Every structure is written in structure tokens, then in C-alpha cells.
Structure 1
């Protein structure tokens, strides 16, 4: 299993970077986890839009799904459109982004697969387990298992025992870390810090931790240091074009 970071910025993309988006590959199958602002150009530096086999969107905030629109355009508005791509999302999560074009324009480009957080899914070679994690809108964390390897991704979430359960003994946890150590009071139930991500990775026994969704301007070394206060394993920060072998 291999993960390529398309972007790891929270809120908006910094210059030269992109918001949340990850390409996960296993046995020739290509799965996208989120497609936030500016991720499509990053994706196209690695594969063409028609080479993607499935898409999973954690929640409906645009820094996680805005580039689904140009991604589907890149499949639909070509002379030889590929077969429709399965798109997995919670009910209603994609209503806004799919409404950007005239009704029906992109219908042939995708097959919607709505699920309830807590469902188990089979996506190509991946066995996917989902959990509802706390955020301002419904957000589905996902645990992918394939080839004896496990990757867990939180989307955006406040601290929760469900994050620990999602990441239990995972080879890699990709965890939201919007802040360094302290989360503002009005966001404490809905977002996490790098230190909290480290604490939850430690509690879950995760082998490696990849911090994502850092606010623009956050010092990456400071984020790693904050996570290391709670977690002794390998820590990295999600930046565009980083490739991680989940092994």
C-alpha cells in the first residue's frame, strides 16, 4: 500500500501547496481520499483523472471536496470519457459541490455511493471501516486494510475515543492537527492539535503518524515537536508530493 500526499493544508492552500487530498494505491487500484482546494493539479502530476478507480470524501467542507468538481469535469468533458467513477460520501455531503454545474452535466462521470458512518465498505482491494468523528458537519473517518497493512485517516475531527479505535495498531495514522498544542475553546469539540494527534496515536499503538490539515503558516518542526511530546514513533507532516509506503 502506498500513499501520495496531494495536499495537507487546512482551511486554504498555501502557495505551492494544496488542501486535504491523498492518493492511496494497492495492487494497481487507485483510491482518492478527499479532494480539497488545489488538489487536482497535484493529482494530475501523478496520474490522469481517468486512471482513478474510486473516490472517498470524508465530509462536505470545501477544503476536503472542492476539487471534486474539476476532477469530474476532467472525466466528463473529454472526447473519450471513461466509465463512471464510484464516489463514496455521507448523505448530503456533496450537494454543494455537485451543484456548481448545471443539473445532469456531470452525471455520467460518477456513481454516487452514499453510506452511513459506521458502515464497512469494499472498495477495490480495500476493506474500509468507517466511523463518525466529531466535527461541525458529519465527518467519516476511514480505516483501510489491504495486503496485511492498515491506514487510518481522520478527516477533520475533535479528540475522540473513536479516533483511537479507528487507528488501533494501524501502520499509518493520517491525523488532523490544525493547531499545535491548544485548540481554541470554540473549536475544542470539532478540531484537534498536533499534541492531541500524538496522544491518540500513542493510545492506539499506531506505528507511524502523519500530521495533516495544519493551518497555513504553521511551523512544521513545531508541529512534529508538539506531537512528539505524546508519541515516540515516527512523525511526519503531510506536504504535497510526499510519498509514504505503508509498510
Structure 2
């Protein structure tokens, strides 16, 4: 454990692209560290190489997956391979996800390959649990597949994460007084009609952060290769706090 790890809660963005990774980028992936404990949130496409640039696979203590779309969980497979195929495999990795969300990604290998390498734990809205030094709360939020909004509390700090979600009253409770709201913002101001119930905008994220009193807002899951300025402008119309876009390497110290 380094001095930086013990000083406070730290979130490092591994990737923030929605749908697929743009050139040189990665999809959703966020590493949260506190008191020597490391939680990986949403190991989406291309996040593992970025993780391994600073953290060995066996140093990940737990994984949280908001939902089963591959841009949020595909790199769980190579992460588990890196752990179980190493010279000294670590204990099974606790992985929290909605029921059935990881069936497809875990089926990429024969069961014997990953045997003993993963402990699946279901995220249950309304039933908090302890993940290392953190309290984890989950909310059921609307998306094309079951999606869990996540709230991590530890070290006197709160990180709230929406996963991918359409409009929902519960978002304000999820983000209430959070030190950091990490919010899906696929589009700047409007979502195409066919996805309007399942995805959000930067403008939506700004309104949620303002209503919830979140201290910081980090916009993520922007459509690949789109400029950041329209999203930042849309969110800033209702939110006046610290605002940024999640890009690989961006670190927030809380």
C-alpha cells in the first residue's frame, strides 16, 4: 500500500467510450482504490491493458459490473485468464453483477479454465453489502438489459455510478450528496426515439447532479469519436459544480 492509496479514495478512468473503443481508447472501466483495496468497475472492451499498465491482475480485489453488455464487461474474461493462468493464481475474484449478466462472457472459456477463479455475487437493489472497506448499494435502473446503478461509500466519501440508464426518478437518490457522480451521457442533449427509455444525455446528467447535490460530475459513455464540448455545454446549463469527461488516465482524488 502506497501513501497515495492510504490518503483517500481515488478513481482512475481506464476508458469511457460507449458501444466500442475508439482508436487508442477503451470502453467503460474505472479503478477505485482506498486503504490498499482495489475495486474494478465495469471491465469493458480494451480496459485490461490499461489496468495492467499500473496494477497487476492479481492486485484487483473485487469487480463490480453494472450490466451485461460487452462494452461494460468483455474484459472480465482476459482479467480472469491473467489471474488463473499465472504462476501463482490468487484466490477467487469476487465479482458482483445483476443475475445472469455475465453468463455470456463467462461462457467464452470452458468451465475448467476458470474454475476457482471467480466468485459470482448478485447485486440486489435495496440490500447493501460490504466490499472491502466500502459499503455497496445498488439501484435497478432502466436499460435494454438489467442494469444496476452503483453507490460506493468508503473513507467518508461517496462515488455514484449510473451504468447505462434511461430517465429514472431513482437517479437522484443514487447520487444524493455524492462526492462524485459518474454518469452515462451517450448523447449531448437528446436520445434517438428508439433508445429514449434506455439511455441518457449529458443534459440529463447535469440535471441529476444538480438535483442530488453532487460535488463532482464526470460524464462517461460518450459516443466514440464525438467531441466533448457539446456534452460539457449541455451539462453545465443546469450543473455548476466541478465537471469533466471521463477519458483514459483521468484521475479523481476524493
Q: TM-score, normalised by structure 2?
A: 0.95
Residue 80 of structure 1: CA displacement? 1.1
Following superposition, the deviation at residue 160 of structure 1 comes to: 1.0
> Would you say 1:67 and 2:100 are equivalent positions?
no
- Decide which of 176, 179, 183 is 1:175's aligned counterpart: 183
- Whether 2:229 is the aligned partner of 1:221: answer yes
2:245 pairs with 1:237: yes
Preserved contact between residue 123 and residue 138 of structure 2 (Cα < 8 Å): no
- Paired positions, count: 246
Establish whether residue 81 from structure 1 lines up as the match of residue 89 from structure 2.
yes
Structure 1 partner of 2:146: 138
> 1:103 matched to which residue of 2?
111
Are 2:166 and 1:154 equivalent residues in the alignment? no
Aligned-CA RMSD value:
0.8
List alignment gaps of at least 5 residues for structure 2: 1-8
Gaps of 5+ in 1: none
In the alignment, which of 118, 133, 144 is matched to residue 125 of structure 1? 133
Partner of 1:199: 207
> Residues of 2 paired with 1:166 and 1:107: CA distance?
35
Q: Distance in 1 between matches of 2:88 and 2:61?
A: 16
Contact 2:43–2:76 (Cα < 8 Å) also in 1: yes
Task: State the secondary structure of the residue aligned to 1:87.
Answer: strand
Following superposition, the deviation at residue 104 of structure 1 comes to 2.5
How far does the alpha carbon of each residue in 1:161-210 deviate from its partner, in whole angstroms, 9 at most, with x for none? Answer: 11111000101000000001011111111000001100111111111100
Q: 2:11 corresponds to which residue?
A: 3
Contact 1:119 1:131 (8 Å CA) reproduced: no
In the TM superposition, residue 90 of structure 1 has moved relative to its aligned partner by 1.1
How far apart, CA to CA, are the structure 1 residues paired with 2:126 and 2:18?
25
Kindly provide the CA deviation profile for residues 14-49 of structure 1, in whole angstroms up to 9, marking residues without a partner as x.
111100000000101000111000000010011000
Q: Deviations over 1:100-132 (max 9, x none)?
A: 001221122111112323321100000111000
The whole-number CA distance in structure 2 between the counterparts of 1:15 and 1:119 is 39
Q: Secondary structure at the match of 2:219?
A: strand
Aligned partners of 2:188, 2:226: CA distance in 1, in Å? 8
Q: Which runs of 4+ in 1 moved over 4 A?
A: none
Aligned residue number for residue 43 of structure 2: 35
Distance in 1 of aligned mates of 2:155 and 2:62: 18
Q: Which TM-score applies when normalising by structure 1? A: 0.98
SS in 2 for 1:3: strand
